[in-house]
Amino acid sequence: MKFRAIHTFGEVFNGKTPSKSEQRSTGLPILKIRDIDGNGKFRGHFESYVEQEFYNKHSKKQLHTGDTVILNAAHNSDYVGSKNAFITDELDGVIATGEWLIVRPKDANHLYVNHFLKSPACRIMLKARVKGIHLYPKDVEKIKIPLPPPDDQIRIAYLLNKVERLIAQRKQNLQQLDDLLKSIFLEMFGPTASGFEKWSLVEIKDLAAKNKGAMRTGPFGSNLLHSEFVKNGDVAVLGIDNAVKNRFVWDERRYITNEKYKELENYRIFPKDVIITIMGTVGRSAVIPDDIPVAINTKHLAAITLNRKVANPLFLSYSVHSSPYLIDQFKRKNRGAIMDGLNLTIIKQTKIRRPPIELQNEFSSIHLRVDGIKTRYQQSLTGLETLYGALSQKAFKGELDLSRVPILSDQEDFEEDEKHQKEQSTPIISTEAMLPKIELPDPDDLKIITSREGRKALIAHWLDVCLDQLGGKTFSAIQFIEATNHKLLELTEELEVPPFGVTDYDQLKQWLFEVINEGKIAQTQDIISEPGEEVVYGNQIVLKVRN
């Protein structure tokens, strides 16, 4: 297989960042780092805009479909080159800021080049070329890429795209389950929950165990230095990375020796403790698993050992990262919308409604069942990511048998991608089949949507109509929410009233779960196996009319 430097079949150059005086809240969009998510996908909105004059002056920096953008500067060199994105039609013509390095292939398949640029082998090469905290075009354009014949480039890109789509689907499945749990939590314990105002108003410290040190932060200052961490040791050290995803995960492993632990035993973490991030990324929370080895926490975490007779760990953890009631208190105590830090005193004095322990334990049981589904999806995701890595390694070494892989044009591959996404998002009953069956009330009565109770009544009416029309069939809960949201947006435009916003959308999900709890409809998973076979569940939460 031939190797060619990037500059021999394309070009590499930096974007252009407008000055603060040139940036606007409206106008023509520019692509900044925050506009791309951790998966290299456009978030669907832009953070900043500029006027036409900037566009005209820097038209060279406009993105083209098929470009790859790579993060070329960051406050930490570890992040440089770690984020890249493939530019599709939705970003064609948008100007990239100077935070991006643009790779524009001209004599090679664009998708093939993109897959190579994000491969582990290329990441190593990019990292080796970082100077300080910057990555320069002149260094990247010298990187040599294996270039098989054009048809094989297309086949490799197609194959890796297939696996990449499956990875994206699994990540979406996991996010949907996280969203479902948050919705159930808010429905059970949010400010609009039944009985909320009657529950005892206590401080978080009232939920802690009575023993000394039940609420604690990690060792400060010279008590625990980074130089005292070891890669393989006797006692684990937990930090922000273990809770930043609002669930406990092992990321970077840090340890201290048993000798050091003897000095820091008061900071030990126990199973079912709740940990809260108080520095850096603030306000994230997780529950310590039962199989945790001997461990302590750093100064970046607060740890709480609860009185399990009055508080369930999952209830408190979700309250910290998802309850509007608690989040609002954290923000006010930090004197701003963005929290720059918490401390143990703030956490102790934060007020919380304490529901009956039986209700808290019920949420924990629901969480356990959903977590079982998440575990299966996470295992599938891990396997797919391993497969992608193995395939890309073999592909770029010329070791793959590509004889059975079809050759698709860019347009055919794009159409297949769209078809795949549509199949994954299509519910058992489609939006098109659902919406025409929702009869709108008389136009003179549409003003009911300007009030919260009016919207709730209208949504309940629509759901009743759907249930009657569909009989015993199942349909997607998320799809009904999306369909209803779409109708409400249309109606608010007709009435020239404030648009249906995020708060309303969250409320809509709560109302739907209220109906579920009233016993009108059942919530389950869709079954994708054939009759007579072992039951295999799909990836959607669906609703079914109760008999």
Instruction: Please enumerate in sequence order all residues whose Cβ is within 8 A of that of 124, keeping only pairs 6 or more positions apart, or say none.
Output: none
Q: Is the pLDDT of residue 536 over 50?
A: no
For 443, counting Cβ atoms within 10 Å of its Cβ (0-12 exposed, 13-18 middle, 19+ buried), the class is exposed
Q: What's the CA gap between 163 and 384, in Å, rounded?
A: 7
In three-state secondary structure terms, 506 is helix
Q: Would you state the pLDDT for residue 58? A: 92
Same domain, 435 and 499: yes
Higher pLDDT, 407 or 255: 255
Handedness of CA 344, 348, 354, 359 (dihedral sign): positive
Q: Both tokens of residue 419?
A: 């078809």
Structural domains of the chain, count: 4
Of 379, 407, 424, the position where a domain reaches its end is 424
Tally Cβ neighbours within 10 Å of residue 204: 26
| From 303-307, 330-334, 358-362, 382-386, the region with the lowest mean pLDDT | 330-334
pLDDT tens sequence across 10-48: 999 999 999 989 998 889 999 998 899 877 888 888 988
**Contact by Cβ (8 Å): 527, 535:** yes
Same domain, 430 and 416: no
Angle between helices 150-189 and 110-117 (to 10 degrees): 60
Q: What pLDDT band is residue 409 in, cutting at 50, 70 and 90?
A: low
Q: Of the segments 107-121, 401-415, 448-462, which one has the largest average pLDDT value?
A: 107-121
Phi first, then psi, for residue 306 (nearest 5°) are -90, 155
Q: Would you state the pLDDT for residue 37? A: 84
Strands (E), 334-454: 351-354
| From 34-38, 170-174, 206-210, 401-405, the region with the lowest mean pLDDT | 401-405
Higher pLDDT, 525 or 234: 234
Q: What pLDDT band is residue 488 in, cutting at 50, 70 and 90?
A: low
Q: What pLDDT band is residue 149 in, cutting at 50, 70 and 90?
A: very high
pLDDT tens sequence across 47-96: 889 999 999 999 889 999 999 999 998 777 778 888 889 999 999 999 99
Mean pLDDT over 124-147 rounds to: 92
**Contact by Cβ (8 Å): 175, 378:** no
- Count how many residues are written for the chain: 547
Same domain, 448 and 529: yes
Q: What pLDDT band is residue 547 in, cutting at 50, 70 and 90?
A: very low
Q: Is the pLDDT of residue 443 over 70?
A: no
Of all helices (H) and strands (E), which one includes residue 203?
strand 200-203
* Predicted TM-score of the model (pTM): 0.67
Q: Is the pLDDT of residue 527 over 80?
A: no
Place of tokens 């996404």: 421
Q: Would you state the pLDDT for residue 518? A: 56
Cα diameter, the chain: 77
Q: Would you state the pLDDT for residue 337? A: 43
Q: What's the CA gap between 256 and 22, in Å, rounded?
A: 50
Q: Both tokens of residue 517?
A: 């709890």
- The residues facing 471 across adjacent strands are none
For 277, counting Cβ atoms within 10 Å of its Cβ (0-12 exposed, 13-18 middle, 19+ buried), the class is buried
Range(s) of the domain holding residue 533: 426-545
**Contact by Cβ (8 Å): 538, 473:** no
Q: Would you state the pLDDT for residue 435? A: 46
Q: What's the CA gap between 348 and 70, in Å, rounded?
A: 43
Same domain, 164 and 120: no
**Contact by Cβ (8 Å): 126, 77:** no
Region of 465 please: left (phi>0), alpha (psi -120 to 50) or beta. alpha
| From 233-242, 304-313, 411-420, the region with the lowest mean pLDDT | 411-420
Q: Both tokens of residue 37?
A: 């998510």
Place of tokens 């200052």: 221
Q: Is the pLDDT of residue 194 over 50?
A: yes
CA distances, 380 to each of 11, 282, 366, 376 (Å) = 38, 30, 22, 6
Q: Would you state the pLDDT for residue 297? A: 93
Of 339, 354, 369, the position where a domain reaches its end is 354
User: What is the layout of strands, in order, in the sheet containing 215-217?
Assistant: 215-217, 301-304, 274-277, 285-287
User: Rounded to an integer, what is the distance from CA 50 to the centroid of its chain?
Assistant: 28
Same domain, 141 and 20: yes
Q: What's the CA gap between 165 and 193, in Å, rounded?
A: 38
**Contact by Cβ (8 Å): 27, 72:** no
Mean pLDDT over 436-449 rounds to: 53
- The residues facing 286 across adjacent strands are 275
Q: What pLDDT band is residue 340 in, cutting at 50, 70 and 90?
A: low
Mean pLDDT over 222-249 rounds to: 88
Same domain, 153 and 73: no
Q: Is the pLDDT of residue 416 over 80?
A: no
Residue percentage of the chain with pLDDT more than 90: 41
Q: What pLDDT band is residue 207 in, cutting at 50, 70 and 90?
A: very high
Mean pLDDT over 463-479 rounds to: 60
Q: What pLDDT band is residue 432 in, cutting at 50, 70 and 90?
A: very low
Same domain, 208 and 347: yes
Mean pLDDT over 119-134 rounds to: 90
Instruction: Please enumerate in sequence order all residues whose Cβ is within 8 A of that of 212, keeping only pairs 6 or more positions apart, or say none.
Output: none
Q: What's the CA gap between 271 and 289, in Å, rounded?
A: 5
Same domain, 461 and 418: no
Q: What's the CA gap between 111 and 106, in Å, rounded?
A: 12
- The residues facing 36 across adjacent strands are 42
User: What is the layout of strands, in order, in the sheet containing 28-31?
Assistant: 48-50, 28-31, 95-96
Instruction: Render 113-169 in DSSP notation, one character per residue.
Output: HHHHHTSHHHHHHHHHT-BTTB--HHHHTT-EEEE--HHHHHHHHHHHHHHHHHHHH
Residue type, 444: D
Higher pLDDT, 407 or 317: 317
Angle between helices 410-425 and 110-117 (to 10 degrees): 60
**Contact by Cβ (8 Å): 180, 313:** no
Higher pLDDT, 250 or 274: 274
Higher pLDDT, 140 or 544: 140
Q: What pLDDT band is residue 370 in, cutting at 50, 70 and 90?
A: confident
pLDDT tens sequence across 343-357: 899 999 999 999 999
Q: Would you state the pLDDT for residue 535? A: 37
Same domain, 82 and 29: yes
Q: What's the CA gap between 361 and 310, in Å, rounded?
A: 10
Q: Would you state the pLDDT for residue 441? A: 52
Q: Is the pLDDT of residue 508 over 80?
A: no
Q: Is the pLDDT of residue 444 over 60?
A: no
- The residues facing 31 across adjacent strands are 96
Q: Domain containing 528 — which CATH number?
A: 1.10.10
Same domain, 131 and 160: no
Same domain, 364 and 344: no
Residue type, 534: E
Of all helices (H) and strands (E), which one includes residue 296?
strand 295-297
The mean pLDDT of the chain is: 80
In three-state secondary structure terms, 211 is coil
Same domain, 188 and 234: no
Phi first, then psi, for residue 157 (nearest 5°) are -60, -40
| From 84-88, 258-262, 290-294, 413-417, the region with the lowest mean pLDDT | 413-417
Q: Of the segments 33-42, 431-440, 462-471, which one has the largest average pLDDT value?
A: 33-42
Q: Is the pLDDT of residue 537 over 70?
A: no
Q: Would you state the pLDDT for residue 543? A: 46
Q: What pLDDT band is residue 335 in, cutting at 50, 70 and 90?
A: low
Of 399, 424, 449, the position where a domain reaches its end is 424
Q: Domain containing 117 — which CATH number?
A: 3.90.220.20
Phi first, then psi, for residue 150 (nearest 5°) are -50, -40
